[in-house]
């Protein structure tokens, strides 16, 4: 069952090599500078518990909080074998994945250049720069 929690973002692993495209990183940086990190339960940072890590599926948000040196963010932890919401399965958000663990493996296996290890990696994804940083 999913569990709300708070965590230091530097403890999370990533499921992508790149993140923050289409100006998402710049917009998020600007929003956090202006309003702080907004704790929105309807748009939570999703994290999957694996045998070796807590790995995020929301790479841009976690990477930006690391860049900004935030020490505590809200997350929702999903168990590896916990079912995905029906809407995600129906729209094939993560291919044919039916659990959060399958979604994570789908994400890590579909990276540029070569797949990541199935549970992700600690190294932050490459992000687009912020023009007004």
Please state the domain extents for the chain.
3-125
Cα of 102 vs its chain's centroid, Å? 15
Asked whether the CA dihedral 83, 125, 123, 108 is positive or negative, the reply is positive
Which pTM does this prediction carry? 0.92
End-to-end CA distance of the chain: 39
What architecture is domain 3-125?
Alpha-Beta Complex (3.90)
pLDDT at 132 over 60: no
Q: What is the mean pLDDT of residues 82-86?
A: 97
C-alpha atoms less than 13 angstroms from C-alpha of 84 in its C-beta half-sphere: 21
Q: What is the pLDDT of residue 131?
A: 57
Per-residue pLDDT tens for 8-67? 999 999 999 999 988 999 999 999 999 988 888 777 899 999 999 999 999 999 999 999
Share the mean pLDDT of the chain. 93
Q: Please state the φ and ψ torsions of residue 104, each to the nearest 5 degrees.
A: -60, -45
């Amino acid at each position: 069952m999913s569990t709300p929690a708070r965590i230091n973002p530097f403890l999370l692993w990533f499921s992508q090599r790149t993140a923050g495209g289409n100006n998402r990183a710049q917009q998020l940086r600007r929003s956090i500078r202006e309003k702080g990190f907004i704790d929105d339960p309807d748009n939570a940072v999703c994290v999957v518990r694996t045998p070796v890590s807590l790995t995020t599926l929301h790479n841009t948000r976690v990477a930006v909080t690391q860049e900004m040196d935030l020490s505590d963010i809200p997350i929702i932890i999903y168990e590896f074998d916990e079912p995905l919401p029906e809407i995600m399965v129906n729209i094939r958000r993560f291919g044919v994945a039916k659990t959060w663990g399958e979604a994570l493996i789908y994400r890590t296996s579909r990276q540029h250049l070569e797949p990541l290890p199935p549970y992700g990696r600690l190294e932050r994804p490459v992000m687009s720069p912020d023009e007004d940083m």
